[in-house]
Structure 1
Amino acid sequence: MERKYKDFIIHPIPVLKDNIIWIWVKGDKAVVVDPAISKPVIEWLNNRNLKLISVLQTHHHDDHIGGTQELLKTWPKSSVIAAKADIGRIPFQTQSVIDNETVHLLEQEIKVIEVPGHTRYHICYYLPGSLDLKINPVLFCGDTLFSGGCGRLFEGSALDMFNSLRKIKNLPEYTKIYCAHEYTKANLEWAVQIKPEDIFIKKRLKEVCKLRSKGLITLPTNLSIERKTNLFIRAKTSKELGELRSHKDNWKG
Structure 2
Amino acid sequence: MIRITQSLASAAAIAVLAGALAACNPQADKTNPPATATAAAPAASDRNVRLLAAAEGYETLTETAFDKTFPELTASLTAARQKASEARALLATDQAARLDTLGAGIDAALRDQNRSALAIAAVETYRVLVSAQDASALVPVEVSLLDYAGFRYDANAKSRPVNWDQMTADVAFARETWARISPRVTAKGLSGAFDSALSGMETAVAQKNAVAAGIAVSNELALVDALEEHFKPAN
Q: Normalising by the residue count of structure 1, what TM-score does the alignment of the two structures yield?
A: 0.35
Richer in strand (by share): 1
Richer in helix (by share): 2
- Bigger relative contact order, structure 1 or 2 (CA pairs below 8 A, ≥6 apart): 2
